[in-house]
């Protein structure tokens, strides 16, 4: 039986650098704040307090695991909005149990929560929770294969891809270790400009041997180069002093930017994080180029002043780059657009 196992959801911090954005992410608007206030008023929430936890089933967790899980569940910030169904908060209570057992190789574990309301107060609901657990079989990792979606060999060697694996054949099939492997594979491709790369894990169960074979399908896409680096809200002179880990024309490597920000905090206004102020503002799929925007503008700033650092580059000879005029020529490759002098801080 072949399954694509979505349990290995990829969560990679650096992907926040790749989101397109037309405005600063440093603050929310007044409108959204008002909407949140209205929502909070309409949705009266009651805190969920778990007084007792019980585990039942053919193969319940060991005593040490039960104590650990009970503490984790009781410390969860659970709440229930008026009119919301109970399963909204129960899903959060089930997750620690599912993760604990899947780490031990019980990949097909099924957990059914049964809440019993003990006491209801205006702002608190006290429950006793019973979990009926069907752990299922305990699986180990079998074979691991890599497959390019385009039926070709992956651009990165299989030996290097295998170095990202956290488990070897015969180890208990721990979901978090496989998630880390996918994370490492994606970062490896991202560092070489393949920012659209997505690894898709598929599992094949060999129930007779209690083994799970894993095939990692790789949709590589194409490597991207940097066409422009745009700095907003710091003034021309200060923008010129900022040190970037990459220049226009280079293959975009998002893994370099966080470390660069850490090493150059003195040059960064307000010690900003790249995850908050850096976005891919334009992604040209046809030319495989990106425009990067570093947005240092504070909330409610007017007028907005932008400073542009860019080189008009021609990566494919006569093919114009995203954001550049169609008549751009190779002679513009080394040209840096220098804006007219402006104050370091805009006047409101």
Query: Tens of pLDDT along 230-250?
Result: 888 777 777 777 778 899 999
What angle, rounded to 10 degrees, do the helices at 87-103 and 63-74 form? 150
Instruction: Give the mean model confidence (pLDDT) for residues 81-99.
Output: 86
pLDDT at 310: 36
pTM summary value:
0.69
Is residue 169 pLDDT above 90, yes or no?
Answer: yes
Is residue 96 pLDDT above 60, yes or no?
Answer: yes
Count CA atoms closer than 13 A to 126's CA, side-chain side: 6
Q: Do residues 239 and 309 make contact, with C-beta atoms less than 8 angstroms apart?
A: yes
pLDDT at 299: 55
Q: Which residue has the higher pLDDT, 321 or 94?
A: 94
Confidence tier at 319 by pLDDT (50, 70, 90) = very low
Q: Do residues 140 and 173 make contact, with C-beta atoms less than 8 angstroms apart?
A: yes
Is residue 289 pLDDT above 50, yes or no?
Answer: yes
Confidence tier at 31 by pLDDT (50, 70, 90) = low
Residue ranges and CATH numbers for the domains of the chain are 38-57+64-134 (3.10.20), 139-219 (3.10.20.310), 225-332 (no CATH)
Structure token pair of residue 339: 């804006």
Residue 68: which H helix or E strand, with range? Answer: helix 63-74
Q: Which residue has the higher pLDDT, 40 or 129?
A: 129
φ/ψ of 167, rounded to 5, equals -125, 155
pLDDT at 19: 46
């Amino acid at each position: 039986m072949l399954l694509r196992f979505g349990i290995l959801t990829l969560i990679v911090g650096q992907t926040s650098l790749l989101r397109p954005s037309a405005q600063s992410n440093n603050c929310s608007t007044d409108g959204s704040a008002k909407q949140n206030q209205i929502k909070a008023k309409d949705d009266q929430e009651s805190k969920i307090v778990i007084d007792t936890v019980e585990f039942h089933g053919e193969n319940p967790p060991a005593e040490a695991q039960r104590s650990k899980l009970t503490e984790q569940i009781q410390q969860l910030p659970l709440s229930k909005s008026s009119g919301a169904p109970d399963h909204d908060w129960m899903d959060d209570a089930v997750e620690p149990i599912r993760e604990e057992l899947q780490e031990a190789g019980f990949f097909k574990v099924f957990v059914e929560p049964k809440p019993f309301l003990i006491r209801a107060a205006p702002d608190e609901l006290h429950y006793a929770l019973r979990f009926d657990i069907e752990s299922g079989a305990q699986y180990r990792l079998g074979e691991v294969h890599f497959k390019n979606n385009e039926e070709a060999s992956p651009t990165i060697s299989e030996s290097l891809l295998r170095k990202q694996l956290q488990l070897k054949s015969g180890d208990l099939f721990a979901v978090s270790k496989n998630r880390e492997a996918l994370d490492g594979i994606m970062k490896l491709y991202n560092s070489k400009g393949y920012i659209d790369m997505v690894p898709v894990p598929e599992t094949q169960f060999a129930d007779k041997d209690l083994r799970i074979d894993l095939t990692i399908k790789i949709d590589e896409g194409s490597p991207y180069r940097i066409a422009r680096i745009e700095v907003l809200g710091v003034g021309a002179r200060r923008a010129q002093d900022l040190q970037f880990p990459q220049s226009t024309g280079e293959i975009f490597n998002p893994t370099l930017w966080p470390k660069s920000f850490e090493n150059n905090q003195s040059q960064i206004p307000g010690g900003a994080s790249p995850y908050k102020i850096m976005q891919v503002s334009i992604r040209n799929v046809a030319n495989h180029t990106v425009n990067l925007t570093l947005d240092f503008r504070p909330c409610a700033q007017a007028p907005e002043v932008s400073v542009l650092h860019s080189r008009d580059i021609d990566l494919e000879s006569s093919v114009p780059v995203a954001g550049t005029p169609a008549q751009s020529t190779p002679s513009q490759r080394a040209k840096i657009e220098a804006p007219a002098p402006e104050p370091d801080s805009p006047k409101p």
